[in-house]
Structure 1
């Protein structure tokens, strides 16, 4: 149960910040946001505030920001439609009602539509009960009511496609950007409240009967050099040892203000066909509490993890990893279960890594992902005009289908790996 709660909270946080990026920059560009959704599938909660409905949906596998002008968003009033109008004192239409029992609304002004434009010119024109042709201006905040469901109209200048390439691109890019910002904030908070690791090469524990113990190394020793190479950080120590499996080395440590040379033979470890060295020490970095260093730590950790994920992605592209190495929601859930056993800080580090991973994956130039949409914006900027919307929509639809197939394959691999 705790794992399920941790998974839902972490995944919900990642999706929330991703969609928050889209939402804030859409608002900044003047785009009407119809829905801000966390989760997919059936709605289990919804609250309308202003022109946006905020929803939580059943399946915790994503989220979306639905903007005006996307995915056949507009409602078109065709000639011959019979509608009811509610107008203000200036005869400006505030509400248009259609596909509803007119007998329940006796006070409406009825109109048989002849012409209508609810995007640019904002008017409706048609025949009233006396067969007289009348034209009404439509308010920018006019509400359409269809079968009891209310929808705010979206004037063209409030629609996504009406904005400049730069505004649209920034709105889409902001989702992945906020995932990187979230990761930075998590690392920053870890640095502020848990301390910034100094990575000083001070031995925390020596494993009995391993090379370090046999050579006389003690907990608290500070390694200052190996075979004449200066060791300043723990990473220096680990790298040198790993690169010398089976070899004799001299480790210089500082103990009680004096330097002591320890001779040992590095243990050879084989894993996945590779050899690396080990001397049998355990390490936990000392930490310091410094707000400025916490900011630097947050930036460094975000950058380092970003580089690491790109390296892993490169291995996948070059075939060093296969699709079997990928994990979907099931694999992430199981990994979260394992990480949660090691405490809250490790769980937060895991959340930061997942946030960066989500940001990078969404920036890949693949159809249906944010990166794919940015690619089309790039083509539009070069050509000076947008690519045909239907063709672009078809490409994204094919991309969604392929991504769903990949998700099914990855999820099946996860199920086989963990449950069979």
Structure 2
């Protein structure tokens, strides 16, 4: 249950902040955003506010912002159709009833001769059994109602394609960008809770299974010298200890102004390059500092970004096997393991996932934000847009290939789970 809660909270937050970035910048550009969705599939919860329908859907595998003009309108009103009209106080059409007209009172029936819902915003047609030809203005926020479901019209200036290359690029980039912002904020929170390491030769804490606690070291003890060599920083102290695995070392300790010496035989552990290192079981002193926490948020996000790009490079060159990639099942398992280790590690894991989501979405692959950005950049270079049908085909093929990769990675996760 803890794993499930952790996964729902983390992935919900990552997807929410990503899609929220798209939503905010799209609305700032004047684009009509029809829906802001977390998940895919059937709706399980929804409400509407300021032109946008906010929904939570059944399958928690992502989310989307449905912007006007990206998909064809579901209902097209053609010449010869009979529709019902309702008017606002200004005398403009503010609602068009497509079917089930008998359920609506006080509507004016018109047989459409011509209608423009994108540019000139008018409807022209016959009333009174075809005896009178009339024309009415349509309000820019009018709705059409089909099967009792109201949908706001999207004049061309509210559609995605009507905006400048820069505005559209910002609306696309904003999603991944917000994932980097989230990573910075999460890591700042981590640093404020855990504190920032100080580069001083002072014992921050003592582990229960190290030689330091057996020797009587306490939090706050300052290491003055090791085997007669003076040390001033945490880095100097740990370097000497690590360079002498399973060796006795004499430590000169200052505790509240009183000095004493103690000899400890270091323990061994495997270092990052598979070499043996010495340890005594002490942790660095920590300080809770807002400025340091802000710096840590940015620097650590940069480090995670660099590591992920290095992994992608190794994947391209073949140094990194597809077997090491994790899909939803693998990430679910890893999240459970991290959640069991405590909130601090879970915060770091959430930041890593957020950076990863931002980078993956920026890759120039069809169906991803990066792929859409490529088409926008090409439009800026060419001075005219790519054929929407051709672009749609490319994104469809890309999406299909991504789904195949997802299935392959998920299958690998399941196999690893049963090994």
TM > 0.5 between the two?
yes
Q: What is the CA deviation profile of residues 99-121 of structure 1, one whole-angstrom value per residue up to 9, with x for unaligned ones?
A: x2333335321111111110111
The unaligned stretches of length 5 or more in structure 2 are: none
Query: 1:276, CA displacement in angstroms?
Result: 2.1
For residues 229 and 311 of structure 1, the distance between their equivalents in structure 2, rounded to whole angstroms, comes to: 38
Q: Which residue of 1 aligns with 2:253?
A: 255
Distance 1:125 1:186, change over 3 A: same
Query: 1:207, CA displacement in angstroms?
Result: 9.7
- Give matches, 1:3-402, under 5 Å: 3-73=3-73, 75-98=75-98, 100-131=99-130, 132-198=132-198, 200=200, 202=202, 222=223, 232-234=233-235, 255-256=253-254, 269=270, 275-402=274-401
Distance 1:307 1:283, change over 3 A: farther
For residues 227 and 413 of structure 1, the distance between their equivalents in structure 2, rounded to whole angstroms, comes to: 55
- TM-score, with length taken from structure 1: 0.87
For residues 209 and 7 of structure 2, the distance between their equivalents in structure 1, rounded to whole angstroms, comes to: 38
Query: 1:327, CA displacement in angstroms?
Result: 0.5
Query: 1:277, CA displacement in angstroms?
Result: 2.9
Distance 1:250 1:86, change over 3 A: same
Query: 1:191, CA displacement in angstroms?
Result: 2.3
Q: What is the CA deviation profile of residues 125-170 of structure 1, one whole-angstrom value per residue up to 9, with x for unaligned ones?
A: 1122331221111001101000111000011111111100000000
Q: What is the CA deviation profile of residues 295-325 of structure 1, one whole-angstrom value per residue up to 9, with x for unaligned ones?
A: 1121111112111221222222221111110
For residues 232 and 79 of structure 1, the distance between their equivalents in structure 2, rounded to whole angstroms, comes to: 82
The unaligned stretches of length 5 or more in structure 1 are: none
Distance 1:342 1:270, change over 3 A: closer
Query: 1:361, CA displacement in angstroms?
Result: 0.8
Distance 1:181 1:221, change over 3 A: same
Deviating beyond 4 angstroms after TM superposition, the runs of 4 or more aligned structure 1 residues are 199-210, 216-234, 236-242, 248-254, 257-271
Equivalent residue of 1:279, what SS? strand
For residues 210 and 79 of structure 2, the distance between their equivalents in structure 1, rounded to whole angstroms, comes to: 89
Q: Which residue of 1 aligns with 2:411?
A: 412
